Amino acid sequence: MKGENPYDNYKPVVPDGVFLKPGTDEFDQMEAEGLKELSKLGFVLIAGGLGERLGYTESVKINLPLSLMD
C-alpha cells in the first residue's frame, strides 16, 4: 500500500561471520570455492529517480521485481 514501509516488520541484524586469515589453508580453500562461483556473480547499480521512464510508478526503483537466473 502506498505510504507504508514494506520493511516495518524487519529488524536489521549483523550476521555472524568468520575471519579468514590470508595465507591459511582455510582461506585458500574458501577463496577457491568463491572463485568457482565468480562467473555467476553480478552487480546492479540503481541510479537515482523513481523509475517513471521504466514504466514503474508503484514505488521507488529499488522495489522493482527481480528474477534470479540459474
* Predicted confidence (pLDDT) per residue in 31-68, tens digit: 999 999 999 988 777 676 666 776 766 666 666 666 66
| pLDDT at residue number 65 | 65
Residue 58 phi, psi (nearest 5): -75, -30
Write down the residue that cell numbers 514494506 correspond to. Answer: 6
| pLDDT at residue number 68 | 67
Contact 50, 61 (CB under 8 A): yes
Q: Give this prediction's pTM.
A: 0.43
DSSP 58: S
- Give how far Cα 14 sits from Cα of 17, 19, 25, Å: 9, 14, 26
| pLDDT at residue number 4 | 85
pLDDT at 7 over 80: yes
Model confidence at 25, pLDDT cuts 50, 70, 90, reads very high
